[in-house]
Amino acid sequence: MMVLLGMLQEHAEGAASGPLVVNGGLMIWTIVVFVLLLLILRKFAWPVILGAVKAREAALEQQIAEAEKNRAESAALLEQHKKLLADARGQGQQMLVEAKTMAEKERAAAMERTRQEQADLLDRARRDITAEKEKAILELKREAVDLSLAAASRLIGERMTADTDRKLVEGYLASLERGK
């Protein structure tokens, strides 16, 4: 302690001052003020500062937990959306395949109907042609019989009107057809 008092006296006597000069009295007062300030801060400010730091830490932990929870929910939603999108694509592909299959079936059915209608139309045309041909042949036979009878009556000089004569000529013409 004596050393300190000696230093204080030297300083009081007008020692040189400067940034590198040690002043004992100033040093003691600086230490006392620092300790007092430290005690005051510890008593009044330190609990408030620690409370604020702890509150900030708790808020940050809560925000981190919420962010983690939101990230997990986002990841789950993303997976769900990917699955829904894949399902929608699969359903779209399935619908496309079904539509192609249905279109192919409809085309085949339409082609079959067209072929059937064409065959029916061809059969009907053939039947009509056959019927018209038979009518024409029958008409020609009648004309031939009438012409034959007319020619025979002129040759004989009499008119042949009997049914037996007509049957005779028709039989002759039928034998001519068989001979061909």
Instruction: Please tell me the predicted confidence (pLDDT) of residue 156.
Output: 67
Count helices and strands (H / E) in the chain.
4, 0
User: What is the chain's pLDDT, residue by residue, as a tens digit (180 residues)?
Assistant: 566 666 556 555 555 566 777 778 888 999 999 999 999 989 998 899 899 999 999 999 999 999 999 999 999 999 999 999 999 999 999 999 999 999 999 999 999 999 999 999 999 999 999 999 989 988 888 887 777 776 676 666 555 566 767 777 777 777 777 765
Dihedral sign for Cα atoms in the order 30, 34, 35, 39: positive
Q: Which two tokens stand for residue 129?
A: 């042609």
Contact call for residues 172 and 180 (beta carbons, < 8 A): no
Q: What is the pTM of this model?
A: 0.38
3 state SS for 108-147: HHHHHHHHHHHHHHHHHHHHHHHHHHHHHHHHHHHHHHHH
* Amino acid identity, position 170: E
Distance CA(83)–CA(79), nearest Å, equals: 6
Which residues make Cβ contacts (< 8 Å) with residue 152, sequence separation at least 6? 160, 165, 169
Dihedral sign for Cα atoms in the order 110, 115, 120, 122: positive
Distance CA(142)–CA(136), nearest Å, equals: 10
